[in-house]
Amino acid sequence: MKYQYNGATNNLDEIAKILLGDNRSAADLGSLESILATMPQNVQDKLMAELEQDRNWGPKTESVITLADKNHNRIVELMNRLADSR
């Protein structure tokens, strides 16, 4: 039986059925991998190819330590030294 969408919902099982198909549940929405696993391989490949072209998608780059981060780390270090010296 095809899932019938009847309006707005916050029920994750219903959302999974709307987005991924009748036999899906909230568990299928847990990650990109679990969402892709619900789709045929050719659809997975197409979506991943599109994602790889998106400049906002990709592996995380190394963290950039800002001056504020350095100053914060220095303050924490000095506070710990002060506490240890007492």
Q: Is 27 helix (H, G, I), strand (E, B) or coil?
A: helix
Query: For residues 26, 30, 36 and 38, what is the CA-based torsion angle, rounded to 10 degrees?
Result: -30
What are the C-alpha distances in Å from 81 to residues 2, 32, 44, 61, 71? 65, 44, 53, 32, 15
pLDDT for residue 44: 92
Q: Whole-model pTM?
A: 0.52
For the stretch 29-75, pLDDT in tens is 988 889 899 889 999 999 999 988 888 887 666 677 888 889 999 99
Q: How far apart are CA 86 and CA 75, in angstroms?
A: 17
